Every structure is written in structure tokens, then in C-alpha cells.
Chains A and B, each alone.
Chain A
């Protein structure tokens, strides 16, 4: 027998279930319990950068919106810097911009929205520039292990074309499933996305 390798094993994932709101967004479950709550608003009046709304739906294999889904986003600030010690890039840190938010879909329409800023281009550990993007994590009833995907921005064509992660996606036609479309509505910049869990337009999900 060789020497044992005493690594532990990761705890198995289980679905977040239909009542995920109780734990993570209790106001949506219908009650008020915590003094401080997490939300889908990432910005404060002091946050640097272009204010944007991320808005979209997650669709099941019949094209119907999930009305009990929960999304979390994790992103860099406008200078392309993540608020975390493992990001050693040069962009300026903003202490009051955590860069993280969570949102439940509307129980009727399935619409998910975040109020945030457009992140800057990210510099990876080898010094490469990566196109601005938002990291997305999706859980719900029927989703056995959280799904990881990304949202890129439709007005960043040159950066997207050079992005090392987008360029891994084959066939290339699937890259568009990761790109949110910019529009302006009522004086706000809105990036719209659709996450398809199945079908010919199935979104690219990552094993990170």
C-alpha cells in the first residue's frame, strides 16, 4: 500500500429547494427577521462607475421562466479590481463596494434584476486583460448543484473578441449565450440577459 493521501472530500451539494428565500432573502418569503439584509443593490451613492441594471430570466427546458430561482453575482469594481485580498492587480479598491449581490426572481414574471455598476476590465495573474464581466451563480428547486456562468457586455465587442475565457467556448456560436444586451430605458442603462438551462440556445455553464 502506498502512503495515504489524507485529503477530505467536498461536502455534497443539495438543491436550494423552493423555499430558499427563507434563508437568503426572508423578505421575499414574506417576513422580516434580520436587522441587516443582503440585496440586489450593489451600489451606494459613493460607488464609482457607470450605473447599470442587469435584468433577465432563467428559462427551463420548455422555455418557461423559473419563478423560484435565486441568482448571486460577483464582480470587480469600475477599476477592474475585486474586493478580495487574492486580487493583486493595480486598480484602486473601493472599500464600500463589496461587488456581490443576490436576487430572487419575481414570483409571477420570473424577472431577476440587479442594480450595480459596469465592472472594468480584469487583469489576470499573468497580466492578461480580460473583458469586463459579471460572475453568476444560480440555485433553485430542481438544480442539484449551483450553476456557474458569466455575463459579458454587448458594447465591449473588441474586448470580448480577445477574452481568453470567451475564446474557450466552442462552437463559437455559443459565445453569444454569455453576452448581455445593452439598451437605455427611462434614463437607465439596462443590460438584458436570458439564461437557458436547456435547448438549442443553452447557456454556457462553467465547471470552475
Chain B
């Protein structure tokens, strides 16, 4: 007589908790490093001694990474997004007046609201107002070269400035940076923190820039190039360039059956 075999227990019975919905733990999407320049990029010589050589330790996002500093309008002044006026002493700065505008999005396509965007640049002659910059082009007495803005509820930002000039730098003996504006963006969590540079459509220095060409992916490089946006230009005043910035996507945070961010 055969003993009754113990019933095979349904493994699901050991898991009374419902499993979390997909995209539900509040962490950020894994960063696709193939879209970024590698730390060690010998063509950009400064990276050689400043690039870690050990593998990065991959860290599932904890509360330390999904949180980050929160900024508000109280942190900004009224002229902070107007580089034409925020350092003007006795007139407007020299150069092509431009408007730069766009949205800060995440990888799901959602706008990132109320996030701080900071930007800085050389003047129209390619000279930075910085005590370490010794390029022979003159300082513009009416141009500081920095500003900042907070995105609105849809992630939109804009500022006014003059188009920066290209400038030479010590990499190869005849290396020139294409005209560019530096951007710093926060996002909602510290793991989204990003610094990048915006370039201008049609600049012949783009394909030969040792810094830009550290980016291995051609499409990722093209996404740093802002197109002329004639529709947003102000007639008889300023041309406009459009620059959208994409931060890492965030998995929604589900908490006590309440969803946020969806």
C-alpha cells in the first residue's frame, strides 16, 4: 500500500503579500552608460588622470538616492534667467541676442516640474568671466555669463542671453570648443543629478571637438545640439534655440495603495 505522498504545496501560499506593481518602487531607471562618455576618454586629455579605473559599484536606489534637494522661487532673483540684463552695467552685452527654451523631461516623457536649471557660458567673444580664463578675447563689462531658472509645472524653462563664441583650449595645439552653454540640472532625486553642455545647430566645430566626441553614441551626441527654433524667436529682437533635457526615468512610488507620479 502506498503511503499518500504529501501534497505539493502551492509555493504561492508562502507569499501572502501581493507583489508590487511594475515600476512601483520609486527608484530610477538604470543608467544607460552607453549614452554617456566613458570616464577615461584619452582624446580628452584631462580625463586620463581624473577617471576612476575600478568598476563602479552598482547600488539599488535607497532613500539616499531617490531624494534630493528641493528648490523654490525664494532661491532665485527676478533677473536670474536674463543674462542680457543680470550683469548689465551701462548697456546690453555685445553679441547675438538669443532665447534658449525647452523642457526638462524624464525618460518616461513626463515633465520634471519645479526643478532647478543653472547655466553658464562664455561671452560673444569666447571669453569667460573667470579669474582663471586668460584667453585674449576681452571681458564684456555688461555680461556675467550665468543664470538659473526653475521649471514650471510642465517642466518648461527659458532664458535670454547672447550666443557664446567658440574659444581655443589646451588639448591639442589647435583645439577649439564649439559654441556651447553649460547646463546643470537637479531632477527630483540626487541620482538624477546631471551636468551637460548644449551646442548650436550647424557649428562646424562640433564633429571635431575632443570633449563632444567622448560620447560614443552618435544619436546621444546629436541630442546635445539645439536646433534653431524660428517659431519661438522674437521678431526684430532675438533668435531662439530649443533644448530639451532628459533625466533618468523614475519608477512611481506606491505607498499605502496611493500612487504618486502616475
User: A residues near B, CB below 8 A?
Assistant: 6-24, 26, 29-31, 33-36, 38, 60-62, 66, 68, 72, 74, 76, 82-84, 86-89, 98-100, 107, 122-125, 130, 133, 135, 137, 139-148, 150, 165, 168-169, 197-198, 202-208
Contacts and interface: CB of A to CB of B under 8 A. Distances in A.
Given A8-B107, A9-B220, A86-B26, A34 B52 contact: no
A89 B46 contact: no
Contacts, number: 256
A168 B194 CA distance: 25
A62 B63 contact: no
Given A9-B220, A13-B196, A34 B69 contact: no
Contacts of B214: 144
Contacts of A122: 62-64
Nearest to A66: B50
A16 B119 CA distance: 11
Given A7-B107, A10-B107, A13-B36, A146 B193 contact: yes
B49 A142 contact: yes
Contacts of B76: 36
B69 A14 contact: no
A22 B59 contact: no
B221 interface: yes
Contact of A9 (B52, B66, B107, B184): B107
Contacts of A123: 63
B190 A24 contact: no
Contacts of A35: 77
Nearest to B190: A74
Main secondary structure of the interface of A (DSSP, over half): loop
Interface in B182-232: 182, 184, 188-191, 193-197, 211-212, 214-215, 217, 219-221, 223-224
A75 to B, nearest CB: 8
9 contacts: A9-B32, A12-B217, A22-B128, A86-B253, A125-B62, A198-B51, A206-B57, A206-B58, A208-B65
B239 interface: no
B168 to A, nearest CB: 13
A78 B201 CA distance: 49
Contacts of B194: 10-11, 13, 146
B138 interface: no
Interface stretch (B2-10, B149-157, B244-252): B244-252
B130 to A, nearest CB: 4
Interface of B: 25-26, 28-29, 31-33, 35-39, 41, 44, 46-54, 56-59, 61-70, 74-77, 80, 86-87, 105-109, 118-120, 128-133, 144-146, 148, 182, 184, 188-191, 193-197, 211-212, 214-215, 217, 219-221, 223-224, 245-249, 253, 255
A165 B59 contact: yes
A197 B107 contact: no
A102 to B, nearest CB: 10
Contacts of A29: 128-131
Contacts of A31: 87, 129, 144
**Ranked 6 nearest A-B pairs via Cβ:** A23-B120, A142-B46, A100-B69, A84-B67, A142-B50, A207-B56
Given A19-B128, A144-B37, A82 B184 contact: no
A8 B246 contact: yes
Contacts of B221: 12
A208 B105 contact: no
Nearest to A67: B132
A16 B37 CA distance: 13
B59 A208 contact: yes
Contacts of A15: 44, 46-47, 195, 211
A150 B46 CA distance: 24
Contact of A168 (B48, B57, B63, B69): B57
> A29, A100, A137, A139: which has the most chain B beta carbons within 10 Å?
A29
Contacts of A14: 37, 182, 195-197, 211-212, 215, 224
A205 B129 contact: no
Contacts of A8: 105-109, 246, 249
B220 A145 contact: no
